[in-house]
Amino acid sequence: MHNKLKKIRIAIFISGRGSNMESLIKSSENKKFPALVSVIISNNELANGVQLAKNYNVPVKIFDKKKFNKSQFEVFCHKVLLNYKIEMICLAGFMQILSKNFIGKWRNRIINIHPSYLPDNKGLNAQKQALEKKASFTGCTVHFVNEEIDAGEIILQEKIKIIHRDNLQTLSNRILEKEHVIYPKALK
């Protein structure tokens, strides 16, 4: 007899397009993948990812940043996370810095994907930072979230060469393609 795999229950936090969210949902539909996407939380009611999640029949909770301040957002989130018995949080294009208090409650249970080869190019517009520096490579990184921005322990990262005719769009697209591969791998 085979033991049925017990999937860990994850929540994904999004603010926008949701393509990394989609890659995690798709991976988690495989019965051998050890995680189940149980709920999506968005701080932006207009995020594309909101509709996308609904298409996959994953519950979505929206606490819009225009209506709730950070501490309200985090209180509501915490309740949702407990209700859904969430064990891990994946940030996927979630463009809001979590408070120390929230990170403390979920210590070692929050991971993030960042579009650079960390520790290079932390923070916003990582792809643009790499181009402006005329770096020869950049990449993407999945890491644990701690109180310092983009500085938690690295789980998995991948390098991407920058070629001379790259612009922001072409480079971001190439990075994103790799993101969709490494995020599910890292979560696993």
Among 98, 103, 115, 138, binds ligand GAR (CB under 6 A): 115
Site string (23-62) toward ligand GAR, x via CB under 6 A: --------------------------x-------------
176 forms part of the interface with ligand GAR (CB under 6 A): yes
Among 11, 12, 13, 20, binds ligand GAR (CB under 6 A): 20
184 forms part of the interface with ligand GAR (CB under 6 A): no
Contacts of range 34-38, beta carbons closer than 8 Å, 24 or more positions apart = 34/5, 34/7, 34/8, 34/188, 35/7, 35/8, 35/9, 35/10, 35/88, 35/187, 35/188, 36/7, 36/8, 36/9, 36/10, 37/10, 37/11, 37/12, 38/9, 38/10, 38/11, 38/84, 38/85, 38/86
| Dist CA 139 CA 154 (whole Å) | 13
The answer to whether 180 is a known catalytic residue is: no
- Of the pair 85, 161, the CB lying nearest ligand GAR is at 161
Stretch that binds ligand GAR, among 3-11, 52-60, 67-75, 109-117 (CB under 6 A): 109-117
**Which residues 133-152 are close enough to bind ligand GAR by CB under 6 A?**
none
Mapped onto helix, strand or coil, the DSSP state of residue 20 is: helix
Listing DSSP states for 135-187 in one string gives: -SEEEEEEEE--SSTT-SPEEEEEEEEPPTT--HHHHHHHHHHHHHHHHHHHH
74 forms part of the interface with ligand GAR (CB under 6 A): no
- Of the pair 74, 179, the CB lying nearest ligand GAR is at 179
Catalytic residue among 114, 143, 164, 180: 114
Residues recognised as catalytic: 114
Contacting positions for ligand GAR (CB under 6 A): 14, 16-20, 49, 92-93, 113-115, 126, 176, 179
